[in-house]
Structure 1
Amino acid sequence: MGTWDSGPFDNDTAADWCGDLDDAEATNRPAMVREALSRAAGEDGYLDADIACEAIAAAAIVAAQRPGGQPITSPYAPDFLRDGGRLDLPDDLAALAATALDRIQAGDSEWHDLWQDAAGKANPAFDALRGLNRALTA
């Protein structure tokens, strides 16, 4: 996984997933967000980092659509959502996104292990997920 920063869109896997979301028909986009979140939330075994990265990007999209959510400005996010773009998402996705983030931060997650090893005491990736979770549960 090529990672250049700690934000939800700042890795190859998330950027590729966002490109696919951009290319998808508008009517298929909510299902793609749900699928990314469900894959992470429903994983019983060791959670692969690629699944986690897609779910984190999806959670950031859901969080941005919530009242008070951070706007999406990353150049690696879907073009249609940058600078205040909207995606009509079902209300239940906020809870699913929060569940996915909890699963990603669990001890049996490759994403968690990679960031735990790389970050030391200050952990901007963990901080980013906590910020998303606050927006999702507000």
Structure 2
Amino acid sequence: MGTWDVGPFGNDRAADLCCDLDEATADEREGIVRGALTRVIDTVDYLEVPESEAAAAAAALVAAQCPGGEPADPVYGPDEPLPDLTGLRDLARQALDRVMTEPSELMELWAESGGAPWHTNVRQLQNVLLPRPP
């Protein structure tokens, strides 16, 4: 189906990530989220859509555990419990920053289709992931 919503879980790649998390052992789940984030952060050249969508979903899972974060999508999010992902907060923010930085195919596609709601969702996730003052 591709993409059906502007939220971080409204696409096939996010659904694949959540399925991978559900099929993984409890000890493997943090590594899957970390991997989705670092693949995007480490991309210097053109950032493709699948990696961006997986990273946005991973960042949303981290943000869901932070103060002010929205819970993961009850339909498309993972069914199995996740470990504490708050230690990945900075990586999640960096990954979203990279998704929103040229050259990024996902950012380009949303810009072409009038993606203001998508941009708003990403900015909300970025705000939740900002460090909180003590």
Question: TM-score, length-normalised on structure 2?
Answer: 0.92
> Which residue pairs with 1:2 in the alignment?
2
What does residue 83 of structure 2 align with? 87
Which deviations, in whole Å up to 9, do the C-alpha atoms of 1:47-76 show, x marking residues without a partner?
Answer: 010000000000000000112211123411
Contact 2:30–2:85 under 8 Å retained in 1:
yes
Does 1:130 find its partner at 2:119? no
In structure 1, what is the Cα distance between the partners aligned to 2:112 and 2:10? Answer: 18
Q: What is residue 50 of structure 2 aligned with on the other side?
A: 50
Q: 1:103 aligns with which of 81, 98, 104?
A: 98
Structure-2 separation of matches of 1:45 and 1:74: 34
Partner amino acid, structure 1, of 2:105 = E
Match of 2:112 in 1: 117
Q: Report SS of the residue matched to 2:56.
A: helix
Where 1:79 maps in the other structure, the secondary structure is coil
- How far residue 16 of structure 1 moved from its aligned partner, in angstroms, is 1.1
Q: How many residues align?
A: 131
Secondary structure of residue in 1 paired with 2:113 = helix
1:30 aligns with 2:30: yes
C-alpha distance in structure 2 between counterparts of 1:90 and 1:6, whole Å: 24
Superposition deviation, residue 89 in structure 1: 2.3
CA contact under 8 A between 1:65 and 1:87: conserved in structure 2? no
Distance (Å, rounded) in 1 between the aligned partners of 2:11 and 2:67: 26
Unaligned runs of 5+ in 2: none
Q: Which residue identity lines up with residue 77 of structure 1 in the other structure?
A: G
- Matched AA of 2:42: G
